[in-house]
Amino acid sequence: MPAPSSSEEFIVYYGTVIHSLAPTDLEINENAVLVVNVAIGTIVVFERNVEKLNEFLSTVNVLQNKHYTVNALSRTQFILPGFIDTHAHAPQFSFAATGMDLPLLQWLDKYTFPKESEFSDLEHAQNVYSKVIDRFLHSGTTTCSWFATIHLEACKLFTDIIERKGQRAYIGKVNMDQNSPDYYIEQTESSVNDTRTFIEYVKAKNNNLLTPIVTPRFAISCTSTLLKALGDLAKEHDVPIQSHLCENLAEIDFTMELFPDSANYTAVYDDHGLLNDRTIMAHCVHMSEEELQLLKSREAGVAHCPNSNFALQSGVCDIKKYMERDIKCGLGSDLAGGFATSILDAMRSAFIASNTTGIIKSQYENNGDQYKALDAKELIYLATLGGAKVVGMEDKIGNFKVGKDFDALVCDASDDTSVRLFRHDTPWDMLQKFIFMADERCLAHVYVKGRRVAGWKQ
């Protein structure tokens, strides 16, 4: 299924199309037709239950007297929306899957800060950033909310690389002006000025796939003066915000020592103008009732990163509770606190975390009978439409409603992949096997806004 040439105006996909409309509303459409306007990368037709393809296409007004190509999926293929990673650290790809022996704060000091400080070297930044974007695209991540480093020039370079490779991205220059090592820290004024310069650099590209995002690393690493200035910058330039929240108990205690005038950790961000409907807060493992209410009232989103929460011994986040309260929730790899780059792994880790929550409630809280763990429908939702809501792009991506951009995965469950299908398997069975057994070989084609950007098939 090659990408259409520049002379082709429309491409028609015919076969099984799967997408979410809500956490428990998953559509599995066999014999569906998706028509994509290649020039602008958007979906112009989505029709279900088409038995006679040619007859149907002859009635589609947008295709009349136009050139189009038909890509018919096999029985072992289906289309999903592109995966959305709501939280990842690009420079940490350089040491991913190593140094997993410490909890969060010690891990940052021993591994993260030394490695991130190396990105003042642009040759090193070029090497790592090129490889991490390739890896994420091949893993099916069509949209990612990225943390970079404090280095302005390396952040610009990162932006250029993402643009060239075609991923949809939020890109954040990290801010740190306290409680950081001497070799990796900013002065408050330069941090603010560099952030402003970076926002203007990304916006000047006029590329609707790229968005600058204000990125205080976490409250511990930022003075009150810097946090307030970043809140003002986000408002002035109308850009989103991302940070970490309630990931680790020691982190929470230290934060409250630094900001005793705030009611709680979540309120620290709110008090500095950093908590609103365009805010993404990663982790949120240890949230009080008051904090959940504040998060909900501000319409902020949660990036659930279960792999990292297990690996760094932070705790188990009951993301189902947040979803039931209609808090926006998506999945994050949290590379390299999380050791995997794929949102497939995040789905599996979220499943394990949710089942673990049920076990804890059953064994220690005597209310396990009332708890229902995440199922496959909810996992797909978190990886796609849920993530789109967290990053504020549900009007553009997340499912295949007409008018949205074609960010999509052509998934392959044939025998030369890690998935095995048998004659009794329905499309629903195929999807479940894909969630729990697939790897990158199952991602035949990866599209962002109608452009093929990765995939394992020629």
Residue pair 397/404 in contact (Cβ under 8 Å)? The answer is yes
Q: Would you state the pLDDT for residue 364?
A: 77
Give the rounded percent of residues in the chain with a pLDDT score beyond 90. 94
Q: Would you state the pLDDT for residue 143?
A: 98
Q: Would you state the pLDDT for residue 363?
A: 81
In the numeric block, the tokens 């729990």 are attached to: 436
SS3 label, residue 415: coil
- CB-side neighbour CA atoms (13 Å) of 273: 16
CA distance 455 to 137: 8
SS3 label, residue 283: strand
CA distance 83 to 136: 10
Average pLDDT over residues 30-35: 97
Residue 163 has pLDDT above 90, yes or no: yes
Residue pair 278/237 in contact (Cβ under 8 Å)? The answer is no
What is the enclosing helix (H) or strand (E) of 145? strand 141-147
Whole-angstrom CA distances from 67 to 9, 60, 395, 396 are 6, 13, 28, 25
Q: Would you state the pLDDT for residue 6?
A: 42
- pLDDT-derived band at 7, boundaries 50, 70, 90: very low
In the numeric block, the tokens 């939020």 are attached to: 170
Residue 4 has pLDDT above 50, yes or no: no
Average pLDDT over residues 151-171: 98
CA distance 47 to 33: 5
CA distance 391 to 382: 12
In the numeric block, the tokens 């993402």 are attached to: 162
The 10s digit of each residue's pLDDT in 407-429 is 999 999 998 899 999 999 999 99
The dihedral formed by the CA atoms of 136, 142, 145 and 151, expressed in degrees to the nearest 10: 60
The 10s digit of each residue's pLDDT in 332-390 is 999 999 999 999 999 999 999 999 999 988 887 766 567 889 999 999 999 999 999 99
Q: What is the DSSP letter of 127?
A: H
* CA 160 from centre of chain: 20
Residue pair 148/176 in contact (Cβ under 8 Å)? The answer is no
Q: Would you state the pLDDT for residue 320?
A: 95
Average pLDDT over residues 214-228: 98
CA distance 27 to 15: 13
Give the rounded percent of residues in the chain with a pLDDT score beyond 70. 97
Q: Would you state the pLDDT for residue 365?
A: 74
Strand partners of residue 43: 36
Q: Would you state the pLDDT for residue 8?
A: 60
Q: What is the DSSP letter of 214?
A: B
The closest alpha carbon to 436, from 311, 342, 324, belongs to: 342
Average pLDDT, the chain: 96
CA distance 405 to 400: 8
The 10s digit of each residue's pLDDT in 232-290 is 999 999 999 999 999 999 999 999 999 999 999 999 999 999 999 999 999 999 999 99
Average pLDDT over residues 303-317: 97
Q: What is the DSSP letter of 405?
A: B
Q: What are the backbone angles phi and psi of residue 20, rounded to the nearest 5°?
A: -100, 140
The closest alpha carbon to 202, from 191, 213, 192, 212, belongs to: 212
CA distance 216 to 108: 15
